[in-house]
Amino acid sequence: MVYKVKTGKFEGPFGALLDMVEEKKLAINEISLAEVCQDYLNYLKSQINMPRAETASFLTVGATLMLIKSRSLIPSFELTEEEEESIEELEMKLKLLKEFRVLAKNFEYLAKAKQSLFSRQALLGYNFGFLPPDKINIEFLREIQKRLIDSFPVPDLLPQKTLAKIITIEQKARDIISRIQSRIFGTLDKIISAKNKSELIVGFLAILELIKQGFLDVEQKNLFGEVEIKKN
C-alpha cells in the first residue's frame, strides 16, 4: 500500500496555455497567443471547480491575453509600459516552462526505462542488542509527537477572500449588456467601471466576448482617443 498525496489536477494558467499553443503546433509569440485567447477563456469558463487561489492567477493571465487580443483587433490600441511588460513576461515564462517540459519528458522516459541503481540498507547485518540514547523519556516522546501532530498541513483556507469581490464573467457580461442597452454607447472605461484589477479583467473578458458575438462594435475616433463601444 502506498500513500499518495492528493495533487491538484490543475496545472496552472501557464501549463494550460502552453497546452493550447502546443496543441496547435504554434511558436510562442503574440500572434499565437492572440489565436488561443478564446480557447483559454472557454477553458476558464468550463473550470467550475477550480480552486479559488488558482482562479485569481488564471484571471491575471487571462487579462494579459485580453490585452494581446485587443491589440490584434484594434491595431491602434495603446498599451502602458506595465502592460507591455506583462506581455513580455508571459511569453518568457511560457518559453521557460516549455524548456522544463522537455526535460520532464526525459525524466519520464528514464523512469520507464527500468535502469534504477540500488544500494544496501545502512549498517545491514549489525545488531547491537539494546542501545538506548541519552535524553529520551516518556515526556520527550510525547512532546515530539505533539509537535508533529500540530504541524500537520491544514487545507488551504486562506484564498477564500481573494475571489470574494470578483464577479463571474457571465454576471459581468449581463451587466454590460443592460448598461449598453440603456446608454447606447459609451467609452470602454465607463462601461467597465471596474473597482479593482480583477473586475477590470472580467469586464475585458465580457467586452471581448460581446464583440466576438457581434453584440458590440468598437470604434476609436482618433489615434490616442478613447475606445468607443456601440451596440450593434
Contact 57, 198 (CB under 8 A): no
Q: How far is the CB of 141 from other proteins (least distance, A)?
A: 5
Q: 128: which 3 cell numbers?
A: 547491537
DSSP 8-state code for residue 222: S
Query: Based on CB atoms, which residue is closest to other proteins, 93 or 179?
Result: 93
Query: Based on CB atoms, which residue is closest to other proteins, 103 or 164?
Result: 103
Cα 126 to Cα 122: distance, rounded to the nearest angstrom: 9
Q: How far is the CB of 166 from other proteins (least distance, A)?
A: 18
Where is 178: in which H helix or E strand? helix 169-183
Where is 147: in which H helix or E strand? helix 138-150
User: Where does 6-129 have alpha helices with state H?
Assistant: 12-23, 30-46, 52-73, 81-112
Q: How far is the CB of 101 from other proteins (least distance, A)?
A: 6
Q: How far is the CB of 82 from other proteins (least distance, A)?
A: 12
**Which amino acid makes up residue 110?**
L
Query: Based on CB atoms, which residue is closest to other proteins, 97 or 177?
Result: 97
Q: How far is the CB of 98 from other proteins (least distance, A)?
A: 11
Query: Based on CB atoms, which residue is closest to other proteins, 24 or 146?
Result: 146
Cα 197 to Cα 208: distance, rounded to the nearest angstrom: 17
Query: Based on CB atoms, which residue is closest to other proteins, 156 or 219?
Result: 156
CA atoms within a 13 Å half-sphere pointing along the CA-CB vector of 182 = 6
Q: 58: which 3 cell numbers?
A: 488564471
